[in-house]
Structure 1
Amino acid sequence: MTTLIDPALRSTLGQALGLTGRTIVVTGANSGIGQALALGLVELGANVLGVARRAEGLAAVAEQAGPSFAYAIADVTDEAAVEAAMDRAVETFGGLHGVVANAGIAVVQPALDVSADDFRSVVDTNINGVFITARSGARRMTEGGSIVLTSSSFARRGFPDWSSYNASKAAVSMLAETLAVEWASRGVRVNAIGPTATLTPVNEALFADPGFTASVVAGIPAGRILDARELILPTAFLLSPLNEMVLGQTLMVDGGQTL
């Protein structure tokens, strides 16, 4: 994967943001947004522990990223597995300074038809899994750190057929606010990132439909969907230890969709 970070600028950017040598855990790192963030943060000089339910994508990231990337297999709804992954990050790289709680799923179906089990599954991954990940990371940030939760522009708009996803992402933004207030005294900052519709391998089939794509783009003033790589620098900004007064915010990277 080619990132947006010019090779000539990587070292300078990483140092300016204070990310060089810091250890960051990224969940959902085997594909899509999580993979882009994991690779981008490595390029900025961070050590990254990628987490996902399957090893295939993680192994490919490890091959590309080199020794600054390690990985662990875990379902974010399994607290014991997440705890073990956090321990692996500390053991491998000597500490923990940041967490990107990115793993999430979506069920796209009319609210009258979506099953209770499917709705519950989205909530379990997108809210409970994010909470488990954030709390597990915070427990190991003995010298403070930064946590970024992946919310969405859909948290602020009632898009039809996305009831479970929209509700879960709105909850993620509020979770960021609540944890930010609760953990500020520990030196642990919590914020969220709010991407608009983003092209990833998971949703390629959706965006292959010109009608669907046009309907989405119509609501984005910038006139296009987001490339996952465009989230690297906004996320790095939130992870930076230089931003001590940025707390509980959802940084929208949405081309103006929520304006």
Structure 2
Amino acid sequence: MAILIAPALRSSLGQALGLAGRTIVVTGANSGIGQAVALGLAELGANVLGLARREEGLAAVAEQAEQAGISFAYAVADVTDEASVEAAMDRAVETFGGLHGVVANAGIAVVQPALEVGADDFRSVVDTNLNGVFLTARSAAKRMTGGGSIVLTSSSFARRGFPDWSSYNASKAAVSMLAETLSVEWAPRGIRVNAIGPTATLTPVNEALFADPDFTAAVVAGIPAGRILDARELILPTAFLLSPVNGMILGQTLMVDGGQTL
């Protein structure tokens, strides 16, 4: 997987952002946005622990990291299971000697009209996208004894009422508010919480949707930039929010959406 960060810039950029040598946990790191961000942060010199429910994808990411000579370990974890998340955070501390950042990225979507979506499906989306993000952030915060930074993955869909995405839209809007609330509550502990709001991004989770040219055209029509997002374009915005240099940025949702929410 090609990463946006040129090899000649990685060391200096990682040092400038203060991420070199810091330990960062990334959930949903087996594919898509999580994979791109995890590998990108490792290229900036961070020690990254990737989490996901399936080991196969994580092992493939670890192989890429090994070939690139960057620091990436992984643990199998389900973000909706508190004990699983707690064990993974302990693994990060044990492996790298501390915990400085987390990217709570794991998420799912069910695309159905609100009158048809099943109650169990709605609960499942909220459980992963909101409850899982909360459990991840809280577990990390417990271990950030010297302060740290947490980035939650929200969405541009949090600010637009796209039809057929009721559970996803609602869960992502809640994530943005969660970032605001936790940032106020945890700022005295030296822990910053922000969110990132990508627009439609091509990932293995939604590639079937974007295989439909009519669906893709309808989505792109609402994005002034005229295209969907490349997951690699989230590496530097996420690194910016994680950076200890930005001590006064709290509770924000940084939209990376090509102008979709303007």
Q: Identify the TM-score tier after normalising by the shorter chain.
A: over 0.9
Query: Structure 2: how far apart are the matches of 1:212 and 1:172?
Result: 26
**Which residue of structure 2 lines up, in the alignment, with residue 203 of structure 1?**
206
- Which AA in structure 2 matches 1:64? Q
Tell me the residue number matched to 2:110: 107
Q: Spell out the pairing of 1:108-187 with structure 2 (5 A cutoff).
A: 108-187=111-190
Quote the offset at 1:223 in angstroms. Answer: 0.2
Match of 2:80 in 1: 77
Equivalent AA in structure 2 for residue 21 of structure 1 = G
Deviations 1:15-59 (A, max 9, x none): 110000000000000000000000000000000000000001100
Letter in 2 for 1:236: A
Could you list the runs of 5+ residues in structure 2 that have no partner in the other structure? none
Over 2 Å off, 4+ runs: none
Q: Report the secondary structure of 2:75's partner residue.
A: strand
State the superposition RMSD in angstroms: 0.6
The amino acid of 2:93's aligned partner reads V
Alignment gaps of 5+ in structure 1: none
Q: How far apart are residue 99 of structure 1 and its match? A: 0.3
In 2: Cα distance, 1:141 partner to 1:9 partner? 28
Please state how far the C-alpha of 1:196 moved relative to its aligned partner. Answer: 0.1
- 2:100: which partner in 1? 97
* Larger displacement relative to structure 2 (55-64 or 141-150): 55-64
Distance 1:51 1:215 in 2: 33
How far residue 145 of structure 1 moved from its aligned partner, in angstroms, is: 0.2
Residue from 252, 256, 261 that aligns with 1:258: 261
Per-residue deviation, 1:115 = 0.4
Equivalent residues, number:
259
- Paired with 1:199 and 1:124, the residues of 2 have a C-alpha distance of 23
TM-score, length of structure 2 as denominator length: 0.98
